[in-house]
Structure 1
Amino acid sequence: MEVDYSGAESVSSIAKLRNSKQFSEIMDKIAIYVEKQRKNSEGDC
């Protein structure tokens, strides 16, 4: 996963992204998407 660091001012501001609510929500959505893809691919076998 690529993260755009161009707007970040420091390492600490980047580190805050990892614990942010928005980042957490995005990661949850990705996990749900991956699980759906996994279920779909199992049905194709």
Structure 2
Amino acid sequence: MDVFMQLWSEFGFPMTVTLYLLYRIEKKLDTVNSSIQRLNIPLQKRHVS
């Protein structure tokens, strides 16, 4: 139990911050991905015509 508490006290805060930032970045990457997919549709129609 002491080992776990020592590990948590050393790495708990950085792990929490990392997980929070990864969660926020994931949302933004989903938005960027959907925007790129929406841009690709008009380009495909334009290229085919």
Taking structure 1 as the reference length, what is the TM-score of the superposition? Answer: 0.52
Give the equivalent residue in structure 1 for 2:32: 40
Alignment RMSD: 2.3
- How far apart are residue 22 of structure 1 and its match? 1.6
Q: Which has the higher helix share?
A: 2
The alignment status of 1:21 with 2:32, answered yes or no, reads no
Which structure exhibits the higher relative contact order, with contacts defined as CA atoms closer than 8 Å and separated by 6 or more residues? Answer: 1
Structure 1: segments with no counterpart, 5+ residues: 1-9
Q: Percent identity?
A: 3
- Measured against aligned partners, the alpha-carbon deviations of 1:1-45 in whole angstroms (never above 9, x if no partner) come to xxxxxxxxx6x355x27x712210111111111111110001112
Query: If you compute each CA radius of gyration, which structure gives the higher value, 1 or 2?
Result: 2
The alignment status of 1:31 with 2:23, answered yes or no, reads yes
Count, aligned residues: 33
